[in-house]
Amino acid sequence: MAIPALKVLVVLSLVSVLVLGMGSACTGRDTGLQREVLASSAETSVMSQSASQDPRPNLWVDPSGFYVLRDDQNVSSGMFGMDFHIHVTVRNLGESSALNFSVFVGARNVNGESNFTIFDNTYNILNTTNDTVHVDVDWRLLTTVEGTCEIWACADLANNLDESNETDNFVTIQFDILRLETDVVVTTGPSAFKGGDTIYITALVTYAGTLEGVEGAQISFFLTDSNAAVVSYTETTIVTTDPSGHVVHIIMIPTWIDTGVYYIGARVFDEGKVGLASVNIAKASSEPLQEPVNIPTLVIVAIVAPAAVILLVYWFRLSKRLR
């Protein structure tokens, strides 16, 4: 009875070995198949990625490369007459050249009521990924209207390029226009005048608290009395300062003005200033002027008249002898 049991055990062991061997072989075949599937899948993914890569250009106005400088310092505000430098960086993130595209730079107020172009030009970026164009613009602020505006830059404003991404071509930065505040220094040469005279004025307009002249400022002048009241008919026409902030003008003093101390005032755009310089003005004389004596005429008469008398006497005597 023991021998048959031993045979059963041996048979079971052989069956177990065969099953394990077959399982191992199957496992090896499965692993190889998985590797083939994974490799095929990766190749398909690469081919799919290559097929989906957009060959078109893609212009990008880099926000970090868009800024406003004054005296080589980044600024976000300014006043009338100041000069600024605007820098714009445009990159091509696409796979093909971006040719003959425009770059515009402009300014607009925040509510969009006013929008104007400061600069525009045409550029090319060849077929090199991340190739860059740097745009440099000089800008003079020529408005006295204070408030917040936006400086903007746009690549391909007319949308002439077929790009893979059309949403990254426009950027803005905030810029504050400040109220123009000035100092005015006036000199007149003589300080004593009389009614009817002309006061010759030299003035320098600078930004308040600085020595920097304001170019292009519109300014007029006038006389005031000791109570800061403007003297009628003394306000001048408007003139414009030169690049250094200087201007020359005249004030005509009325003939009827009373004797006293008067002051020169100025109006820079809508900003009035009084007491810039004082002048002493005397009332014009009311006595009638005497006719000037024409001395040369009297001298001629005094010389010619006796000569004429002598000549007449000589001819009279000569005519008597001839008879």
pLDDT tens for each residue of 133-169: 999 999 999 999 999 999 999 999 999 999 999 999 9
- Assigned domain for 307 exists: no
- Assigned domain for 3 exists: no
Q: In DSSP terms, which residues pair with 127 in a beta bridge?
A: none
Phi, psi of 250 (to 5 degrees): -135, 150
Q: Which of 177, 212, 228 is the last residue of a domain?
A: 177
Q: Are 184 and 74 in contact (CB under 8 A)?
A: no
Q: 251 with 211, same domain? A: yes
Residue-wise pLDDT for 39-93, tens only, equals 444 344 433 343 357 889 999 999 999 999 999 999 999 999 999 999 999 999 9
Q: 216 with 231, same domain? A: yes
Q: 248 with 172, same domain? A: no
- Assigned domain for 289 exists: no
* Residue 89, domain CATH: 2.60.40.10
- Assigned domain for 102 exists: yes
Domain of residue 243 covers 182-282
* Residue 204, domain CATH: 2.60.40.1930
**The model's pTM:** 0.69
Q: Categorize the per-residue pLDDT at 114 as very low, low, confident or very high, splitting at 50, 70 and 90.
A: confident
- Pick from 212, 248, 231: nearest CA to 78: 212
d(CA 181, CA 204): 14
How many domains is the chain partitioned into structurally?
Answer: 2
Q: What angle do CA 121, 127, 128 make, to 5 degrees?
A: 100
Three-state SS string over 45-86 comes to HHHHHHHHCCCCCCEEECHHHCEEEECCEECCEECCCCEEEE
Q: 170 with 249, same domain? A: no
Q: 173 with 199, same domain? A: no
Q: 70 with 171, same domain? A: yes
- Pick from 191, 178, 264: nearest CA to 221: 264
d(CA 121, CA 104): 7
Q: For the chain, how far is it from start to end, CA to CA, in angstroms?
A: 215
d(CA 151, CA 163): 24
